[in-house]
Amino acid sequence: MIPNCVDAEFFRPPRHDRATTPFVFLFVGDLVRSKRIDLLLRAFAVYRRDHPASRLVIAGAGKERRCLAELSGDAVEFTGTLSRSEIRRQMWSANALVLPSDFETFGVVLIEALATGIPVIATRCGGPEEFVTAADGVLINCGDESALTRAMTSIRTRSFRAERLASSASARFGYDVIAQQLCDVYQRVVVRSPQRRAAARAASA
């Protein structure tokens, strides 16, 4: 499978070191049920009992906004819809990205976050488990609130180097890398097609 790609020149680490106090978790996506932001809010509330110097930023808009606001506390910020540059700015200010979805075919926001140098927490929901490794962050099962709380604690205590995360993301998902993979596939198809046509003619003769 050829993965999605990331603009590693745009989604890059900030020029300054990230602050770790408060420790900032970031969600980016549509505010819909399948993204399980409700789960994230509950897990964050439990996590924050032991780590009060923490914040959760939820970037995006959607029909669940009002319901989600009722679950959030004063350490949660809803930004609404953001531009691409504003999303990058949020990633530069965050310490980890969380995507607790029930279903993702891939999860482009995960590789964008990695390219900016922050680790990720994601669910085994169809796409993320194909590429998120232990070196990138933490994978949990869908719908597991306790596991999400533990993952948030774990990601805070582990040491992740922004440069390594960004370099790995670029090496796996950069434009040039994915373009070469696509060219390789097309080349194999072009080479095999004449052979298949010749085999079909021989079989029908």
Over residues 64-76, the pLDDT tens digits come to 999 999 999 999 9
Contact 55, 74 (CB under 8 A): no
On average, the pLDDT of the chain sits at 91
Q: Summarize pLDDT for 20-50 with one digit per residue, the tens.
A: 999 999 999 999 999 999 999 999 999 999 9
pLDDT at 59 over 90: yes
Dihedral sign, Cα of residue 134, residue 137, residue 139, residue 140: positive
Categorize the per-residue pLDDT at 195 as very low, low, confident or very high, splitting at 50, 70 and 90.
Answer: low
Categorize the per-residue pLDDT at 191 as very low, low, confident or very high, splitting at 50, 70 and 90.
Answer: low
**Which CATH code is given to the segment(s) 23-168?**
3.40.50.2000
Q: Summarize pLDDT for 104-157 with one digit per residue, the tens.
A: 999 999 999 999 999 999 999 999 999 999 999 999 999 999 999 999 999 999
- For residues 19, 25, 27 and 32, what is the CA-based torsion angle, rounded to 10 degrees? -150
pLDDT at 197 over 80: no
pTM for the whole structure: 0.88
Using CA atoms, how far apart are residues 132 and 122, in angstroms rounded to an integer? 8
Strands, DSSP E only, in 7-108? Answer: 23-28, 54-59, 76-80, 96-99
Would you state the pLDDT for residue 186?
A: 74
pLDDT at 187 over 80: no
pLDDT at 13 over 90: yes
